[in-house]
Amino acid sequence: MPAWRRIADGIEIAVRVTPRASRDAFLAGTEEHFAARLAAPPVEGAANAALAPLVAKAFGVARRNVTLIAGDTARLKRLRVEGDPRALEEVAQRLYGGAHDG
């Protein structure tokens, strides 16, 4: 599956998380996922709690529009980002710097 795909009310994205990084960052990863570096540790949901606001900021949506849908305890996670699908896809493409099969 590609790093993102369009859904009726937004996009779903795949994100590979690296906890305990020196600072928070949300970047292009591989064709299969975005990359998120989080300063938070992977303890008691701290990394998941830090991921949603980081993704919301990157896509320009409210925190409540980002939902973790899979991968609660895994490094590879799937998130739903609600909003205008076309605008969200444009942001995703900008993050990747080009076209994508999403």
pLDDT digit of tens for each residue in the chain (102 aa)?
689 999 999 999 999 999 999 999 999 999 999 999 999 999 999 999 999 999 999 999 999 999 999 999 999 999 999 999 999 999 999 988 754 554
- What are the extents of the domains in the chain? 4-98
Written out in words, the top-level CATH class of the domain with range 4-98 is: alpha beta
Alpha-carbon dihedral sign for residues 83, 86, 87, 92:
positive
**SS3 state at 76:** strand
**SS3 state at 74:** coil
